[in-house]
Amino acid sequence: MTDVPRITGVLSPVVTPFGADLAPDPERFVRQCRWLLSQNVGLAIFGTNSEANSLSVEEKIELLDRLVAAGLDPARMMPGTGCCALTDSVRLTAHAMKLGCGGALMLPPFYYKGVSDDGLFRNFAEIIERVGDRRLRIYLYHIPPVSQVAITLPLIERLLKAYPGIIAGAKDSSGDWNNTKAYIDNFAGQGFDVFPGSETFLLQGMRAFSRKPEPHTRIVEAEDARKNLRSEMMTICDAKTILVIGSALRSAGPTNFRLWARTIGRWRN
């Protein structure tokens, strides 16, 4: 297996800016990502806060291409590439690897519920086999409050045995520290990195990793989603828009910024 450096540190869930025509705005997207990198923050693009499932495959590919063409380091990027359609997941993941992205954050296929571990294993295995790139590093995306499809301990164990090195870790957005700790306790010794999806568990995650004696195990910091989200918006929205979005985020959780680009004001030039 080719020794590919792993992504470490804080990754920001990057908000995708949209224009009044509801199309993604690549210029503002590039500018925002460049600023985040200047703050020593990695780029978790096409995740939940990025509205990945409101974007087409073509839109995601174009935005990713624009980032790399602008000179941003793809090794600091972990684009979300997991889709309900197998072929979409394969296409996005292969393109991310072609560009040299540091990893792929992969949702399970989530539209149909009650998917068995066997079915999920076959999904991830098929993506890995079709992409066929030894540099591939998959970070499983566990977000059951949204996806309603869990990444279980037996599934991770089976994937690690079948694809060591390629299955590189997980982002745990379950909001359940016991689950995050179980990931760390069971798999950190096998080089499996765990990104807590909330700053709430940052200190606990760092402590849990620091107790692991294996030299290849690193402390992987949590995503300070709320703070990074507010910082991102401050650079691309006016003050009134910030107040409206902030209030809605507190009351409604995940929101659709693509539609709000039309209803609450224009993105700043």
What value does the CA radius of gyration of the chain take, rounded to a whole number of Å?
A: 18
3-class SS string, 145-204: HHHCCCCCHHHHHHHHHHCECCEEEEEECCCCHHHHHHHHHHHHHHCCEEEECCHHHHHH
Q: Given a cut of 80, is residue 256 above it in pLDDT? A: no
| Candidate ranges 19-23, 41-45, 157-161; pick with highest mean pLDDT | 157-161
Query: In whole angstroms, what is the distance from residue 41 CA to residue 225 CA?
Result: 12
Q: Is the CA virtual torsion 107, 109, 112, 115 positive or negative?
A: negative
pLDDT tens profile 86-119: 999 999 999 999 999 999 999 999 999 999 999 9
pLDDT tens profile 48-91: 888 999 999 999 999 999 999 999 999 999 999 999 999 999 99
Half-sphere exposure of 262 (CA within 13 A, CB side): 8
Neighbours of 243 (CB within 10 A): 12
Pairing verdict, β 42-44 and 11-13: parallel
Q: Given a cut of 80, is residue 226 above it in pLDDT? A: no
Q: Which residue has the higher pLDDT, 240 or 112?
A: 112
**Average model confidence (pLDDT) across the chain:** 81
pLDDT of residue 3: 59
What is the distance in angstroms between the CA of the first residue and the CA of the last residue of the chain? Answer: 45
pLDDT band, residue 10 (cuts 50/70/90)? confident
Pairing verdict, β 104-106 and 193-196: unpaired
pLDDT of residue 49: 86
| DSSP code per residue over 19-55 | -TTS-B-HHHHHHHHHHHHHTT-EEE-SSTTTTGGGS
Q: What percent of the chain has pLDDT over 90?
A: 64
| Residue whose pair of structure tokens reads 């999806």 in the numeric block | 197
* CATH classification (class only), 15-263: alpha beta
Q: How far is CA 41 from CA 13, 35, 44, in A?
A: 10, 9, 9
Helix (H, G, I), strand (E, B) or coil at 256: coil
Q: What percent of the chain has pLDDT over 70?
A: 75
pLDDT of residue 150: 96
Q: How far is CA 266 from CA 18, 244, 252, 258, in A?
A: 9, 13, 22, 11
Q: Given a cut of 80, is residue 26 above it in pLDDT? A: yes
pLDDT of residue 209: 65
pLDDT of residue 228: 45
Query: In whole angstroms, what is the distance from residue 246 CA to residue 9 CA?
Result: 26
Structure tokens at 41: 């923050």
| Residue whose pair of structure tokens reads 């995650």 in the numeric block | 205
Q: Which amino acid is at 252?
A: A
Q: Given a cut of 80, is residue 241 above it in pLDDT? A: no
Neighbours of 152 (CB within 10 A): 14
Structure tokens at 62: 């174009």
Cβ-based neighbours of 65, under 8 Å, separated by 6 or more: 99
Are the CB atoms for 231 and 207 separated by under 8 Å? no
132-136, 153-157, 230-234, range with the lowest pLDDT: 230-234
pLDDT tens profile 163-208: 999 999 999 999 999 999 999 999 999 999 998 887 777 767 777 7
Query: What is the Cα 261 distance to its own chain's centre?
Result: 23
pLDDT of residue 239: 38
pLDDT of residue 210: 62
pLDDT of residue 234: 44
Select from 55, 6, 17 the least CA-distant residue to 237: 17
Query: In whole angstroms, what is the distance from residue 87 CA to residue 243 CA?
Result: 39
